[in-house]
Chains A and B, each alone.
Chain A
Amino acid sequence: MCQTCGCAISPGNAHLTVAAEGGRGPVIEVLQDLLAANDRVAMHNREHFDQYGVLAINLMSSPGAGKTALLEATIVALRGRYRIAVIEGDLETDNDAARIRAHGVAAVQITTGTACHLDAHLVHRALHELPLEGLDLLFIENVGNLVCPASFDLGQHRNVVLLCVTEGDDKPAKYPVMFRAADLVALSKSDLLDVLDDFDPERAADALHALGGETPMLRTAARRAPEIGSWLAWLERELAERRIPAQAPRQEGVATVAV
Chain B
Amino acid sequence: MTPVAMREAIVHELSVCQALLAQVAEIAAAHGASAVARVTVEVGPLSGVEPFLLANAFEVASTGSCAAGAALSIETSAVVIGCLICGTESQVRPNRLLCAACGGYRTRVIRGDELRLCRVELQVQTAPRLQTA
Q: Please list the residues of chain A having a beta carbon within 8 angstroms of any beta carbon in chain B.
A: 3, 8-9, 11-12, 14-15, 17-18, 23-38, 114-117, 119, 145, 147-148, 150-151, 172-174, 176-177, 180, 207, 209-214
Query: With A and B bound together, what is the CA distance between A174 and B116 in angstroms?
Result: 24
Inter-chain contacts of B114 with A (CB < 8 A): 33
Query: With A and B bound together, what is the CA distance between A8 and B29 in angstroms?
Result: 13
Distance from B49 Cβ to chain A, minimum over Cβ atoms (Å): 7
Residue pair B48, A212 in contact (C-beta under 8 Å): no
Query: With A and B bound together, what is the CA distance between A36 and B124 in angstroms?
Result: 28
Q: Give B98's nearest chain A residue, CB to CB.
A: A210
Q: Give B124's nearest chain A residue, CB to CB.
A: A25
Q: Tell me whether B25 is interfacial, beta carbon within 8 Å.
A: no
Query: With A and B bound together, what is the CA distance between A9 and B96 in angstroms?
Result: 41
B37-82 with Cβ < 8 A to chain A: 37, 41, 46-49, 81
Inter-chain contacts of A30 with B (CB < 8 A): 23, 27, 116-120
Query: With A and B bound together, what is the CA distance between A15 and B27 in angstroms?
Result: 14
Q: Quick one: which of A23, A28, A37 contacts B19, CB cutoff 8 A?
A: A37
Residue pair A27, B119 in contact (C-beta under 8 Å): yes
B16-41 with Cβ < 8 A to chain A: 16, 19-20, 22-23, 27, 30-33, 37, 41
The 6 closest A-B pairs by CB, nearest first: A212-B97, A25-B122, A151-B48, A176-B95, A212-B107, A25-B124
Give the secondary structure class of B's interface.
mixed
Residue pair A14, B116 in contact (C-beta under 8 Å): no
Distance from B121 Cβ to chain A, minimum over Cβ atoms (Å): 5
Residue pair B11, A211 in contact (C-beta under 8 Å): no
Do A212 and B12 form a contact, CB below 8 Å, given A28-B122, A34-B19, A151-B47? no
Residue pair A29, B118 in contact (C-beta under 8 Å): yes
Residue pair A214, B33 in contact (C-beta under 8 Å): no
Residue pair B81, A180 in contact (C-beta under 8 Å): no
Q: Counting chain A CB atoms within 10 Å of each CB, which of B12, B22, B118, B129 scores highest?
A: B12
Residue pair A23, B124 in contact (C-beta under 8 Å): yes
Residue pair B48, A209 in contact (C-beta under 8 Å): no
Residue pair A24, B128 in contact (C-beta under 8 Å): no
Residue pair B15, A34 in contact (C-beta under 8 Å): no
Distance from A26 Cβ to chain B, minimum over Cβ atoms (Å): 5
Inter-chain contacts of B11 with A (CB < 8 A): 114-116
Query: With A and B bound together, what is the CA distance between A23 and B121 in angstroms?
Result: 12
Inter-chain contacts of B105 with A (CB < 8 A): 209-210, 212-214
